Structure 1
């Protein structure tokens, strides 16, 4: 394509960008977006990195308004169920009320702790607890983890529940525990062992799941039963995930995102048919995979699955993006975090086009008509995981058709790094790197 032809196409795209963009300088500028997505039962809010202040702060600001003005009843995040269940108990006024939000979050130990143990999340949780305590128990907003990594913590919790409420089921439960015991609570050791011999703990952990499901039929009304049932689901999902991950099987991505979408369904069911939920995850999970190159690789994600399952209930997918600044990340998996300079976006990317067209923060709501040059053009869209290598910055772009991937995009010209509550320590339980690139 000639440079003149390329410039003409880009000019048409920039004209469409300017026509739908609205300035974003204060919380009141979210008015239109709140009204637009407020009727959806599921609102998924993304982030272009796990280490950017503006993504976390404005996602929290939008969430506060959707809770207070549109009746959102629960939040599901890209975090472990056991850790977030403790947060859920705290924000709803049930447990550990002597702690501050900062003290509660410093209890996170699984790498990378900064994803949730940061000042931005602490400020939001402190606000959420105060909001909840001013309301009746049935009107308090829950906070839940959607992810699949907490194999041992979840296994331990499910077995403890059976010990207390169904001791006759302990033999089945202990078979699963004994199967995993030789691996010293190291999922990598367990997963690697399944590559050498055909035996695995799959049958034992599935038997545990079936037993817990059978014993927690009242899980929709009983808190501890609901927690036990979900931990059993996590244990079974984690066992499946780690076996696929260690084989280098890209199906592990689908296992993880199906688990997160299934967890969203269970939370929504528990909260009732009239409940409304927020989902906080990376853009690679929130933005519909069918509008990216993930689809050609056979990958699905949470945004796609929620749209497919709940279109009739109302689904809104909101992405975040930025042009330049700083970001918090690690050089390698399990390494300490650093603040990195984030260079200006690649010249052929959506971010570069938005920078040229706008030059200031904005909300871009796509509306029902997704035609037009920008919304239908496939360009690179920057995505940074918990691992970042500045020397490979040019590879951090996902080919994306914006009009299919999101319903709204929140844009920033310059972003700054997240504020962790403490520096990263060597993880006690190293995890296999998620695919791709720690999203």
Structure 2
């Protein structure tokens, strides 16, 4: 078992410092060049530096390596509006308008200045390229049960009005609840009918009628059919997810990550059918989804995740990239549904990966885990994860988990002090960042 001294020596020996130059990401791009899936994480949903670094890496991969698509931890119909904009297929006048489908908490997760800038750049990049050379952007989450059901019906209205009526009748089973969690509760408790069978039947009809509905031909028709089919899958999986929230026998974390991987692999197949070659996709999501769950304490709870499943299903085609920080500021709420605050991120705990990286004395660096030798970074360590809520008063319990980071990720970017993500929808008080002096003692 390594101790911190040998791990520090190994980190100092193999880390590549980041100095803000164009070449900062050369080593990563070389490692990613032959991978189909490049999974780019984040240690929080509210850190500017993670989002910005991830966007810069993705831009270079698009420009230099021909990445076909970006898929993000966002809902399928919401992100598809952005896809239409960046591919010149929608009436939105600006990148900010294209981000308008995000209407629920946490708005800042995708409605932020980094995302706006990236979407604007991607639209410009695609503008002079034919459809088969454009880079699309997609969502892989499943919270949009009702919006996806509406999208299925809207599509069918254009290709088969009778099929649209059948879809309305099936999805009416869910309509009178008005809220997916209310539906999940009443269905799980037996208060109302479960709509599982209807959701499955709709998926099957969509798949069986694909050829008939594609007779008008062309890339656009294929894309719209694929969009509708995936919305039907979202309804199917979201229905199971919301029912599972109220059952002790269902691991909803696994349902969600399995859906994300199902969407990712379906997108790969769709692109490969259209372009006649292997697809390459960048994935943007939280470290907790993209780092291999088998290398964390999640495995003890029977949890899997996207990183694990992609490694298992795609063998050596996946590159898992993690991001860490020691301190700084983050955009996060104090509780679910609360306004976005400009929070101070407490210095990482002593037994953490982040603290060890901080002790290296290297401010920002890239570390390839395959370069480490022996037991370096194999000592018991914890890692921090901040989602959309930050609770410093329960820092250890709320935000840290046991990890073997060498097996969790292939490479890691450590950014020692980071800044908060700037929302497009500024809430009152966000400009007043929380000062370090408010750090409570005894954490």
Tell me if both proteins adopt one fold, taking TM over 0.5 as the criterion. yes
**358-367 or 274-283: which moved more?**
358-367
SS at match of 1:246: coil
After TM superposition, list the pairs within 5 Å mapping 1:27-426 onto structure 2: 27-97=22-92, 99-184=93-178, 186-197=179-190, 199-217=193-211, 221=219, 222-247=222-247, 251-272=251-272, 273-312=277-316, 314-367=317-370, 371-395=373-397, 396-423=399-426
Answer whether contact 2:70 2:284 (CA < 8 A) is retained: yes
Aligned counterparts of 2:194 and 2:389: Cα–Cα separation in 1: 30
* Offset from partner CA, 1:363-417 (integer Å, 9 cap, x none): 00122x6653334334101100111112111221121111110000000110010
Ranges in structure 2 where 5+ consecutive residues have no aligned partner: 429-443
Aligned counterparts of 2:80 and 2:194: Cα–Cα separation in 1: 29
258 and 158 in structure 1: CA distance in 2 versus 1, 3 angstrom threshold: same
Answer whether contact 1:326 1:416 (CA < 8 A) is retained: yes
**293-302 or 25-34: which moved more?**
25-34
Report the number of matched residues.
415
Answer whether contact 2:142 2:259 (CA < 8 A) is retained: yes
SS at match of 2:325: strand
Ranges in structure 1 where 5+ consecutive residues have no aligned partner: 1-5, 426-439
Aligned counterparts of 2:383 and 2:208: Cα–Cα separation in 1: 45
112 and 249 in structure 1: CA distance in 2 versus 1, 3 angstrom threshold: farther
- How far did residue 267 of structure 1 move? 0.6
Aligned counterparts of 2:47 and 2:242: Cα–Cα separation in 1: 28
* Offset from partner CA, 1:212-256 (integer Å, 9 cap, x none): 122224779512111110000000010011111133556100000
Aligned counterparts of 1:373 and 1:354: Cα–Cα separation in 2: 16
- How far did residue 106 of structure 1 move? 4.0
* Offset from partner CA, 1:292-350 (integer Å, 9 cap, x none): 011121111001111111115x2100000000001101111111110111110001100
Correspondence for 1:429: none
Aligned counterparts of 1:31 and 1:399: Cα–Cα separation in 2: 31
345 and 280 in structure 1: CA distance in 2 versus 1, 3 angstrom threshold: same
Aligned counterparts of 1:356 and 1:224: Cα–Cα separation in 2: 51
For the aligned residue pairs, the C-alpha RMSD in angstroms reads 1.9
